[in-house]
Structure 1
Amino acid sequence: MRVTNRQIADIFNETADLIDIDGENPFRVRAYRNAARTILSHPRNMADLVEEQFDLTSLKGIGRELAKKITEIVQTGKLSYLEKLKRIHPPGIEKLLKIPGLGPRRVRLLHEFLHINSLHDLENALRQDKLQSVPSFGPKLIEMIEKELKKRRYEEKRYPLSEADSVSRWLLETLCSAKGLIEIEVAGSIRRRSETVHDIDIVAAAETENDIMEHFTTLPEAERVLMKGPTRSSVILINGITVDLRVVPAENFGAALHHFTGSKAHNIALRKLAITKEMKINEYGIYKKGKRIGGEKEEDIYKKLDMDYIAPELRENRGEIVVAQQHRLPSLVSEEEIQGDLHIHTTYSDGTNTIREMALRAKEKGYEYIAVTDHTRHLAVAHGLDEKKAKKQLEEIDRLNEELQGITILKSAEVDILEDGSLDLPESILKELDLTVCAVHFKFDLSQQAQTKRILKAMEHPFFTILGHPTGRLIGLRDPYDIDMEAIIHAAAQCGCILELNAQPDRLDLNDIHCKMAKEAGVPIAISTDAHSVNDLDLMHYGIGQARRGWLGKENVVNTRGLKELKKVLKK
């Protein structure tokens, strides 16, 4: 298996963490992080580019030394420089970095003041009430660390959807050359577009004579074969992900794909419904009075039960079965219906491409518009816009809109919501914007009452348009801050605000439950990529998957509208 872009990005981020702990030059640290972002968002695999002898230094943020390191990772699967850093640092220090709130600088403080180098050391220090003696470790941070350590004891290993998605696509491409293969699909939580994935399920239809299992279990990337049989095999890949492959005759493919897509709760509820109709459903088909009446296609199962076909993203037993029986399932939004992206960054803050480059790439995607939403001044780490810089950007957007045909650049900004609920730009600038994306970027640890009050106050501002990444979470890295989402959604409905569904795979914020709540309250959603490069614009499909899980249709998403209709919405 080729090294994935995420693996390379993870190696660079880990390198950045370790040199940051050492107090390395912040520009060097940032170089690794920017390179990781460029790699992660690139549409092509770095391994392919290396094989083609592509000039990696032509990529944003990739200099000669980093290009050499990418090549080394692709060719060897590791980075010797990182391995050297690991030998210098205590082996448990990397796990400390995964605890929310413990960035490299705080990990350094833990080491300097209490000689903490592992999760075990950290737990001992907590039991002995020693963390209070470390600078910047207040009661709220200590409480958060304690909760996180307890949670991690019971959690199973899960992988981000984007990583599992990449691996599963590679597997399908690899297995499609097997002899006797008729059809092959990814099933399980990947097909349902769940935020995280425990393992990968693949279902294949094949002729009697086939070599699919042999092909699968002898992959060089299969570190260990857990089991091998004619209809089911299971392997652990070198990246740690377990993959199950089921092979069935073509006549059973639809039923098997449905069964192994799940969810378990959905399948159980459907089987109970079938029993009331004197039917039976299993992985081989749907039966009535012992006679098989369907199963070649997934649609057979729902049709025989006299209900609408239920899209995989909805199969969580959250009311979809009853609604399908009533033939009232919504028509779910699709990526083809998206007309523009309302949250992108450029070189004016922490993006890697210019406004022109972002606009031209959006035009290539068939978009009518983009909104340039660079960070504002409070977010100094992202080189946010002050009043002078903002005015300069607005002037450039005017020039580009006169010059470029077929794409409109909307004036906007990702405006920090300050602790008191005010916005981080003066009204003299805000009134010049077509829209604002307002978001919380600091003080995540406020109480629910204070955090909710902060956002509600911001939403009352006459120039507030969209609440960006509303809960602030980073999946697997940072929990959402504590807010009353019911109150936020209610307020958005009252004041005509829009909520963002941030399509970054590490965010997917709003979650699916909150998307459905917003829909039911009549609150519009903007699905945006939060793109920091031209390649990030291609992340929209992750937001679409989340939106579909939240029952959203085209009518619920503001950026499915053309520019003329969008402007009417923004005026409201």
Structure 2
Amino acid sequence: MPIHNREIATKLNRLANLLEIEGANSFRVRAYRKAASTVRGYPRSMSDMLDDGENLSKLPNIGDDLAEKIQTMVMTGELPLLQEVEDRTPPALSELMKIEGLGPKRVRKLYEELDIQSLNDLEEAIKAGKVQKISGFGNKSAEKIKLRLEKYSGNEQRTRLIDAEEIAAPLLDYLKDAKGIGNIIIAGSYRRRKETVGDLDILITAKDSSPVMNHFIRYDDVEEVVSKGETRSTVYLRSGMQVDVRVVPEESYGAAKIYFTGSKAHNIALRKLGTKKGYKINEYGVFEDNERIAGETEESVYECIDRKYIEPELRENRGELDAAADGSLPRLITLSDIRGNLHTHTKASDGHHSLKEMAKAAEKLGYEYLAITEHSRSLSIASGLDRDQLSRHLDEIDELNAQLENIVLLKSSEVDILEDGRLDYPDDILKKLDFTVCAIHQKFDLSRKKQTERILRAMDNPYFHVLAHPSGRLINERDPYDTNLEKILEAAKERGCFIELNAQPQRLDLTDEGCKMAKDMGVRISIASDAHSTSDLKHMRCGIDQARRGWLEVKDVINCLPRNQLLELFKR
């Protein structure tokens, strides 16, 4: 039974968390976290690499010891050291870390000082005012934790899209080997490319469903068969994800794709339009007086209600049906429209590869330019560059540019926005850069008013160009900080600044709604991978998915421009 990279990374991260609760050496804890990051983001399966005889210790942040541990997980599905640590750690402490804002250090402090071992213990301690008295917490922090406890239900979170892809890809390959299978597609929120997925809805055409269903429930990763029928079967995989397989006739495939892709709101609006024309629309087709008049293709269903085909990413009932009627649907951006990447890191700060390695990898992707944006050295980014290091780094970029033929490295920096809105480098340093990518990395808990004003003050600096990961969220891990996005977008438009859509799969920041708001207000976007390795460059596709959900077109995205036109935009 294969083990996915996501599962390996989860075990390594869990081990790091538990070791940190125990007070283990910080370098050891950090090593496991870095290894987890490498494994989770690596484009190839660890299982496949081992099958091919490759040496995992050659990967970034993976030495001999960690390579051996990963091999053990691939072979057995278990990490013995993790089991040892779990056996000596109170189980409820892991539950506490599911509350946003409670990392391992805080959980350890709560356990040691108040003997808190459960969510109920924590709730009672906050009510009694005990948590507020612990160093590093206080009234404000305790109140936030209380609110998060109230929101937390204990239910499993939705799966991030990139993790769902890792689960779905081998399953889809397996199902394609079923006897008599015709078309196959994963529908639902997965097809609409939502940032998280609840379950997998797989749609198949076949004349005989029995071989398909028998094949499906024999998949190695199936933990439990919930139901098995002629047209629908449901299982739970080892990961906990539910998978539904539905078999439909070929003549209903288009209608079924629309129905099972959703969204629910889109489908309700679509059916209402059908009713007005005297049609009944369901998963089997479009019917007039019980006669099917369309349904084999999605296009045929939309044609019946006088609409152009609507891309799955747009099907959220946000005006797409009206746009499909009047010809104003956006021509959505594609990965091939991107000419360069405007947010990447190298070994100079917290990346894994050299300048040259990143340049060559970007060149292979067909990019015309690549911005190198090492962190500034603030209190929150110890691995960043001080002004002298940055100066030497810029010289290295000039030297490498003299050797490169098909790509140009742009000189930039991910500059920290300090609490008072100042930028972490002085202007005499900032003016040496082609442009800046500016970001918040600390003081996430400021009020909405203060956090918004902080960003607006930073935008007043003439060397501010792009606001990076504008909400600071990490999907399923960290809430966004509180800001007034509309005010920020208004300020960006007034000052000639731009907003980043960070394509890191755990960020996808802007949200799709934020992208649409920016587009409607005339603020252009930078879609950037925030790559810390050569493989991370390929995360650009995740940003494209989010951009398409936000109705973005080529004209809305600055890194669809040729280099000379792009650099003109940065002249404030």
Q: Tell me, yes or no, whether TM beats 0.5.
A: yes
Aligned twin of 2:93: 93
- State the AA in 2 paired with 1:485: L
Aligned twin of 1:354: 354
Instruction: Describe the SS at the equivalent of 2:182.
Output: strand
Q: What are structure 1's unaligned runs of at least 5 residues? A: none
Range moving further from structure 2, 311-320 or 415-424: 311-320
Aligned twin of 2:457: 457
Q: Percent identity?
A: 51
Aligned twin of 2:314: 314
Q: Output the CA distance in 2 between the equivalents of 1:450 and 1:398.
A: 39
After superposition, what is the alpha-carbon deviation per residue over 1:339-368, rounded to whole angstroms, capped at 9, x for unaligned?
A: 111011111111111111111100011111
Aligned pair count reads 572
Deviation at 1:126, TM superposition (A): 2.1
After superposition, what is the alpha-carbon deviation per residue over 1:31-59, rounded to whole angstroms, capped at 9, x for unaligned?
A: 11111111111111111011112111111
Instruction: Describe the SS at the equivalent of 1:201.
Output: strand
- State the AA in 2 paired with 1:494: E
Contact 1:369–1:563 (Cα < 8 Å) also in 2: yes
After superposition, what is the alpha-carbon deviation per residue over 1:197-239, rounded to whole angstroms, capped at 9, x for unaligned?
A: 1111100111336511111111121110010011100000011
Contact 1:41–1:533 (Cα < 8 Å) also in 2: no
Aligned twin of 2:121: 121
Aligned twin of 2:176: 176
Give 1:8-47 correspondences, 5 Å limit: 8-47=8-47
After superposition, what is the alpha-carbon deviation per residue over 1:346-396, rounded to whole angstroms, capped at 9, x for unaligned?
A: 111111111111111000111111111111110555511100110111011
Aligned twin of 1:162: 162
Aligned twin of 2:218: 218
> Does 1:204 find its partner at 2:204?
yes
Instruction: Describe the SS at the equivalent of 2:375.
Output: coil
Deviation at 1:496, TM superposition (A): 0.8
Q: Output the CA distance in 2 between the equivalents of 1:226 and 1:76.
A: 26
Q: Output the CA distance in 1 between the equivalents of 2:409 and 2:210.
A: 53
Contact 2:21–2:107 (Cα < 8 Å) also in 1: yes
Aligned twin of 1:267: 267
Contact 2:511–2:546 (Cα < 8 Å) also in 1: yes
After superposition, what is the alpha-carbon deviation per residue over 1:396-436, rounded to whole angstroms, capped at 9, x for unaligned?
A: 10011001111110001110000000000122211110111
Deviation at 1:128, TM superposition (A): 2.3
Instruction: Describe the SS at the equivalent of 1:24.
Output: coil
Aligned twin of 2:524: 524
Q: Output the CA distance in 2 between the equivalents of 1:155 and 1:487.
A: 35
Check 1:220–1:230 CA distance in 2 against 1; reply closer, same or farther (3 A cut): same
Q: Output the CA distance in 2 between the equivalents of 1:118 and 1:68.
A: 34
Give 1:291-440 correspondences, 5 Å limit: 291-440=291-440
Aligned twin of 1:489: 489
Aligned twin of 1:230: 230
Check 1:379–1:557 CA distance in 2 against 1; reply closer, same or farther (3 A cut): farther
Aligned twin of 2:290: 290
- State the AA in 2 paired with 1:440: I
Check 1:396–1:282 CA distance in 2 against 1; reply closer, same or farther (3 A cut): same
Q: What are structure 2's unaligned runs of at least 5 residues? A: none
Check 1:155–1:323 CA distance in 2 against 1; reply closer, same or farther (3 A cut): farther
Q: Output the CA distance in 2 between the equivalents of 1:220 and 1:155.
A: 26
- State the AA in 2 paired with 1:152: Y
Instruction: Describe the SS at the equivalent of 2:310.
Output: coil
> Does 1:69 find its partner at 2:79?
no
Check 1:233–1:210 CA distance in 2 against 1; reply closer, same or farther (3 A cut): closer
Instruction: Describe the SS at the equivalent of 1:478.
Output: coil
- State the AA in 2 paired with 1:423: L
Contact 2:456–2:488 (Cα < 8 Å) also in 1: yes
Instruction: Describe the SS at the equivalent of 1:412.
Output: strand
Q: Output the CA distance in 2 between the equivalents of 1:246 and 1:416.
A: 50
- State the AA in 2 paired with 1:297: T
Deviation at 1:542, TM superposition (A): 1.1
Instruction: Describe the SS at the equivalent of 1:148.
Output: helix
Aligned twin of 1:102: 102
Instruction: Describe the SS at the equivalent of 1:428.
Output: helix
Contact 1:379–1:416 (Cα < 8 Å) also in 2: no
Deviation at 1:157, TM superposition (A): 3.4
Instruction: Describe the SS at the equivalent of 2:153.
Output: helix
Aligned twin of 2:276: 276
Contact 1:359–1:409 (Cα < 8 Å) also in 2: yes
> Does 1:566 find its partner at 2:566?
yes
Aligned twin of 2:56: 56
Q: Output the CA distance in 2 between the equivalents of 1:91 and 1:154.
A: 14
Q: Output the CA distance in 1 between the equivalents of 2:301 and 2:217.
A: 31
Deviation at 1:107, TM superposition (A): 1.1
Name the TM-score, length of structure 1 as normaliser: 0.98
Contact 1:271–1:281 (Cα < 8 Å) also in 2: yes
Name the TM-score, length of structure 2 as normaliser: 0.98
Deviation at 1:196, TM superposition (A): 1.3
After superposition, what is the alpha-carbon deviation per residue over 1:272-301, rounded to whole angstroms, capped at 9, x for unaligned?
A: 011001111100111223221111111111
Contact 1:35–1:61 (Cα < 8 Å) also in 2: yes
